[in-house]
């Protein structure tokens, strides 16, 4: 009976994993990250960008992406018109909006509102964590803002992003509480149209950049660490008793 229960549990876990893959809408979903600095994902959930004049976009794992890289800026309540710069490409003085059709892009501007997903609004295939629910929830609970919508702008950066070699870009014009995400397609996939084999590379909410996001204070981090230590000590005492 016990073995049967374990077997059923394994089947349940496998089913959940399969459902998650299907919900993602891609055979592969390699991780891109947008953050202040660093060569590996910070996992800030999301990552605060306190200096939008210089931040990085990178790829985790081991792969090379196609040219161009799509960078999506979601402007809080449409407050401001964003511009994106990358000195090592044709983005001078600023990057252009992406060409419709790139990796299946349906439009290079859109509006994100309640119940909607960023990639779907732009006509792209991708996961569901880049959503109005997550973006608005962070702005409300962490920044004390009151979002009603986000204006989406999809820019193109002329570069082939590779793992371990993030690029440094700058943004101006987007209000605090705006989000910056990235999307691309692997070199191994079709070079025309959508990522036909599902070899999508994208940010998820955990590694998305947020303009003016709040960085935890050192005192808060120390308090959190102390709390986790205390919880671990309590659990260990209960196991020994």
Q: What is the pTM of this model?
A: 0.79
Number of Cα atoms under 13 Å in the Cβ half of residue 71: 31
The confidence score (pLDDT) of residue 189 equals 74
With bands split at pLDDT 50, 70 and 90, how would you rate the model's confidence at 15?
A: very low
Binning the chain into helix, strand and coil, the percentages to the nearest 5 are 25, 30, 45
- pLDDT higher at 134 or 230: 134
| Domain spans in the chain, listed from the N-terminal domain onward | 28-236
**Is 105 within 8 Å of 154 (Cβ atoms)?**
yes
The confidence score (pLDDT) of residue 99 equals 95
Distance of alpha carbon 6 from alpha carbon 112, whole angstroms: 43
With bands split at pLDDT 50, 70 and 90, how would you rate the model's confidence at 213?
A: confident
The confidence score (pLDDT) of residue 102 equals 93
Distance of alpha carbon 105 from alpha carbon 126, whole angstroms: 11
Indicate if the pLDDT at residue 206 is higher than 80: yes
- pLDDT higher at 17 or 203: 203
Q: In the structure encoding, which two tokens stand for residue 73, read together?
A: 């800026």
Which residues touch 21 (CB under 8 Å, ≥6 apart)?
Answer: none
Residues 183-193: tens digit of each pLDDT? 999 887 765 56
Indicate if the pLDDT at residue 152 is higher than 70: yes
Lowest mean pLDDT among 79-93, 150-164, 183-197, 214-228: 214-228
Q: In the structure encoding, which two tokens stand for residue 95, read together?
A: 């990057």
């Amino acid at each position: 009976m016990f073995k049967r229960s374990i077997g059923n549990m394994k089947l349940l876990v496998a089913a959940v994993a399969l459902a998650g893959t299907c919900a993602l809408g891609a055979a592969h979903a390699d991780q891109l990250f947008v953050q202040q600095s660093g060569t590996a994902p910070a996992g800030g959930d999301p990552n605060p960008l306190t200096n939008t004049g210089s931040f990085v976009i990178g790829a985790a794992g081991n792969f090379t992406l196609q040219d161009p890289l799509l960078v999506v800026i979601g402007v809080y309540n449409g407050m401001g018109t964003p511009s994106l710069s990358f000195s090592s490409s044709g983005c001078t003085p600023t990057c252009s909006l992406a060409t419709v059709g790139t990796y299946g892009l349906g439009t290079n501007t859109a509006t994100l509102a309640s119940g909607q997903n960023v990639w779907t609004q732009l006509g792209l295939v991708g996961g569901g964590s880049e959503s109005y629910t997550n973006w608005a929830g962070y702005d409300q609970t962490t920044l004390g803002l009151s979002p009603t919508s986000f204006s989406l702008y999809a820019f193109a950066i002329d570069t082939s992003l590779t793992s371990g070699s993030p690029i440094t870009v700058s943004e101006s014009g987007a209000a605090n509480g705006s989000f910056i995400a990235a999307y691309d397609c692997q070199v191994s996939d079709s070079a025309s149209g959508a990522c036909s084999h599902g070899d999508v590379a994208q940010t998820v909410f955990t590694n998305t950049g947020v303009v003016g996001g709040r960085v935890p204070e050192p005192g808060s981090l120390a308090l959190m660490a102390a709390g986790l230590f205390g919880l671990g000590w309590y659990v260990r005492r209960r196991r020994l008793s």
